[in-house]
Homo-oligomer: A and B are copies of this chain.
């Protein structure tokens, strides 16, 4: 396995067992989602809860607040947890909450989650109307404090406007090219190029393999990575597994439906099956092997599995 391994996104109900899965997979650091639909107060609680969990498991886990913390986690054999948002909802309508959450350790925030919010348009909006004036202010503030802008689940137009607005490189932490599976959750080539041409990264995503399902083979997946490398360069591709471990079906309904109460008679959706070659964080070495089998050089594999994220985080969060 390469020097530093970083997963661009996991959304787990964290337990010691999941931390150990990450260790088995050789993962040194992960962007760990601590807000999806929550507003500020609920997000603060979740951050406090997650920090207490990490403190209770300090022998195998640590918080990542600067890029050098990832190197230290690697040296210690611990899993570095970087606090991240999958929605701008914790910022509410209050620009000062960006700095507030940065002070609480949050280092990456996706602008929108599936549907539009006060910041901009999202991937499942019928029409994405672009970044709002408040959204532009949020990006400027994220740039100022050192918080990575994440464009996964964001609408195409808002992605382009966010890239243009940001003075720092931005990321798509967990999505695939739409040329691989043509669904709104994935990214068209022009969005991927806009992100990567400005120094950003796309983290390719395993969550059932963004909507192509569990049938995709490891060969299909690594071939997609190789095509991406050919298209945008080996310095701009990473992994964002989107592992979602430890949750019940109620949480999947929450992800889809938001904070509303369940409707009368509403049935819980089922989590999708994962590919047999990648069931969770412990399977990260499979990607190493798969990329090597495609003939990718060890140095390039190291970039894809972590080196690129490490470089970008060094630039953006310091």
A interface residues with partner B (beta carbon < 8 Å): 37, 39, 41, 89, 92-96, 115-118, 126-127, 129, 132-134, 258-261
Contact = CB atoms under 8 A, between A and B. Distances in A.
Closest 4 CB pairs of A and B: A129-B129, A95-B260, A96-B261, A94-B259
Contact of A258 (B37, B93, B117, B259): B93
Contacts of A118: 116-118
Contacts of A133: 115, 126
A86 to B, nearest CB: 14
Contacts of A134: 115
A159 B227 CA distance: 47
A65 to B, nearest CB: 24
B132 A260 contact: no
**Interface SS of chain A:** loop
Contacts of A132: 115-116
Given A118-B117, A134-B115, A93 B129 contact: no
B37 A93 contact: yes
Contacts of A94: 258-261
A115 B129 CA distance: 13
A126 B261 CA distance: 33
18 contacts: A39-B39, A39-B92, A89-B93, A92-B259, A93-B259, A93-B260, A94-B258, A94-B260, A94-B261, A96-B261, A115-B133, A115-B134, A116-B118, A116-B132, A117-B118, A118-B118, A126-B133, A129-B129
